[in-house]
Structure formats: structure tokens, C-alpha cells
Amino acid sequence: MSAKTLRRLTRIRELEEEQSRLALESAARIREQAAAELLAAHQEQRAGRADLVRGVERNDPRDRQTGLVRMEVATRHAERIRPQLQQLDDELARQRDEYLARRTARRQVETLLGQAELCARQEADRRAQQMLDDWYGRKRRPAAAAASPQDSGRRPA
């Protein structure tokens, strides 16, 4: 492949990698929101337990009932969030794998591009040296050709 084609391919791979990185970041944010919701549900369960304990200590049926309801609502909410969190973890792992694959592909193309550019530079250097050699050879030939007729006219005695 030519260096020009590899440059275009590198640009495409960079764009794909960028899109994949953005998708990964989005999946990570969504997963963190779900984890925060689960944490809030656990905190609500603790608050409900505290209400229940306070109701038992004070012998207040309203606090006991409030505590039980808060704990039940928080438990149900946590049970709904856990499977979603697992799905989000799986999605995050898939997005991470996709991002790493795209990054690897981009780096491979960059390596090929570097090799192609190195070969092109070496070829250009070789051609430049060949042109200098040819020029120097042409410059010396007329002098050598001019010296030859004089020597050929004389024969050693």
C-alpha cells in the first residue's frame, strides 16, 4: 500500500477509535449512575432500619411501619437495579474490548505507515545518490576521453 493510502486509513482508524472511546466513556457514566442508584438504595435500607429501631425503642408504631416500608421499597429498588448493573458491566466490558481492538488496529496501521514512509525516504535517498553518481560519472568521462586520444597517439618506445 502506498503511504497516501495508509495515511487515509490511519485517519479512518483514528475516527473509529475516537467513536469507540466516546461510547466507552458513555457506557462507564451510565454504569456509574446505576452503581450510585444501588448505593442510594442501600443507604435508604439503612435509614429504614434506623427508623424501625427508633420505632421499637420508642414504642412508636408509625416509626416502625415507616422503617419497614422504607426498607421494603429500597430492597425492591435494589433488586431491580442489580440485573441492570450486571448488564451494564457486560456492556462496559464489550465496549472496552471494542475500544482496545480499534486502538490496536490504528497502531498497526501507524506502524505500516511508518515503515512505508521509511522505505520511501530510503528510496528517495538512493535515487538522489544515484543521480549524484551519474552526474559525477558524466563529469569525469569527458576528461578521461580527452586524455585517451593523446595517449593512444604515442607508443612507448
96 inside domain: yes
Express each pLDDT in 109-126 by its tens digit. Answer: 999 999 999 998 999 999
pLDDT value at residue 70:
94
Q: What residues have CB less than 8 Å from 60, skipping those under 6 apart?
A: 54
**Residues spanned by the domain of 26:** 3-111
90 inside domain: yes
Mean pLDDT (whole number) for 6-17:
94
Overall residue count recorded for the chain in this entry: 157
Q: For residue 144, what pLDDT band results from cuts at 50, 70 and 90?
A: low
133 inside domain: no
**Residue 136 backbone class (left: φ over 0; alpha: ψ -120 to 50; beta: rest):** alpha
142 inside domain: no
139 inside domain: no
26 inside domain: yes
Q: For residue 147, what pLDDT band results from cuts at 50, 70 and 90?
A: low
Number of domains in the chain: 1
The whole-model pTM stands at: 0.69
Express each pLDDT in 86-98 by its tens digit. Answer: 999 999 999 999 9
pLDDT value at residue 87:
97
Helix (H, G, I), strand (E, B) or coil at 10: helix
